[in-house]
């Protein structure tokens, strides 16, 4: 086996040293590259998180604005629904009033009960009041309603005197004047309970009327039944004797 010369040994040592140095440089570069890569990744991650946070904030803001718009539209819808319901209710009431206006008047169950109670009150008070009933003969509906009132009062024990009096001013509906005469309070209470008078007033007078040209009776109430919608003149009230 040949011996390595001093020159070759020196050369080998130099090469080994250079190789070690190169390996150290490569290792150092690898460490530096890894450090740089980590920093780049960290910066990229931070930027991504910042971008994500901005996107989330923007999304939340858009969602809040959308919710405000939804709330406003919901409130508008509720208000519109309420107005539509109110308008529908008003229309139904108008139709009901128009239909009721076209129907002829008649004594309701409530009115009949009021006149039945009047009979009991007059019997208890032992009173036989007189009512002057003005009938408008040129209106079939008013005439028919007047007859119903006359029959109900008569059954209750009231003397009903039917008259056609002078007309002085326009009037519609049923007008009642209650006088200061026996049985007037019971009659007033019954007419209010019956809810048939469009106008009801009280007078302190005590007018009287001749019955059969023999008996003179105090009038407890003066009732005039006019058409529902056709304007006629109002009958003048009887004057006190």
Whether residue 122 is found in the same domain as residue 199: yes
Whether residue 115 is found in the same domain as residue 229: yes
pLDDT value of residue 236 = 52
10 Å CB burial of residue 183 (0-12, 13-18, 19+) is buried
Count: domains in the chain: 2
Q: Which has the closest alpha carbon to 188: 113, 118, 123, 237?
A: 118
Domain of residue 6 covers: 1-103
- Which value, in Å, is the radius of gyration of the alpha carbons in the chain? 53
> How many angstroms separate the CA atoms of 37 and 111, rounded?
101
Q: Is residue 241 one of the residues assigned to a domain?
A: no
> How many angstroms separate the CA atoms of 118 and 122, rounded?
6
pLDDT digits (tens, 9 = 90+) for 23-74: 777 877 777 777 767 766 676 666 777 777 787 888 788 888 888 888 888 8
> How many angstroms separate the CA atoms of 77 and 143, rounded?
52
pLDDT digits (tens, 9 = 90+) for 126-145: 989 999 998 877 788 888 99
pLDDT digits (tens, 9 = 90+) for 83-103: 888 998 888 887 777 666 668
Q: Is residue 240 one of the residues assigned to a domain?
A: no
> How many angstroms separate the CA atoms of 114 and 83, rounded?
39
> How many angstroms separate the CA atoms of 73 and 71, rounded?
5
Residue 178 is part of a domain; what is its CATH number?
Answer: 3.30.70.2390
Q: CB-based contacts of 139: which residues, under 8 Å, 6+ apart?
A: 226, 227, 230, 232
- Residue-averaged pLDDT of the chain: 81
Whether residue 78 is found in the same domain as residue 164: no
Q: Is the pTM of this model over 0.85?
A: no
Confidence category of residue 239, pLDDT binned at 50, 70, 90 = low
């Amino acid at each position: 086996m040949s011996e390595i010369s001093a020159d070759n040994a020196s050369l080998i040592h130099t090469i080994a040293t250079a190789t070690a140095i190169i390996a150290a440089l490569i290792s150092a570069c690898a460490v530096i590259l890894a450090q740089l890569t980590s920093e780049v990744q960290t910066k990229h991650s931070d930027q991504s998180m910042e971008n994500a946070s901005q996107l989330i904030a923007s999304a939340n803001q858009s969602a809040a604005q959308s919710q405000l718009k939804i709330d406003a539209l919901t409130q508008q819808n509720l208000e519109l629904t309420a107005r539509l319901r109110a308008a529908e209710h008003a229309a139904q009431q108008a139709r009901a009033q128009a239909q009721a206006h076209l129907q002829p008047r008649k004594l309701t169950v409530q009115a009949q009960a009021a006149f039945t109670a009047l009979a009991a009150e007059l019997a208890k008070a032992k009173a036989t009041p007189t009512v002057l009933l003005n009938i408008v003969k040129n209106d079939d509906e008013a005439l028919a309603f007047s007859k119903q009132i006359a029959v109900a009062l008569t059954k209750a024990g009231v003397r009903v005197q039917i008259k056609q009096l002078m007309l002085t001013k326009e009037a519609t509906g049923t007008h009642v004047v209650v006088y200061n005469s026996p049985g007037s309070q019971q009659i007033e209470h019954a007419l209010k309970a019956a809810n048939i008078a469009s106008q009801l007033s009280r007078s302190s007078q005590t007018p009287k009327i001749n019955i059969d040209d023999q008996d003179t009776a105090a009038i407890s109430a003066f009732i005039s039944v006019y058409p529902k919608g056709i304007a006629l003149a109002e009958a003048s009230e009887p004057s006190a004797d």
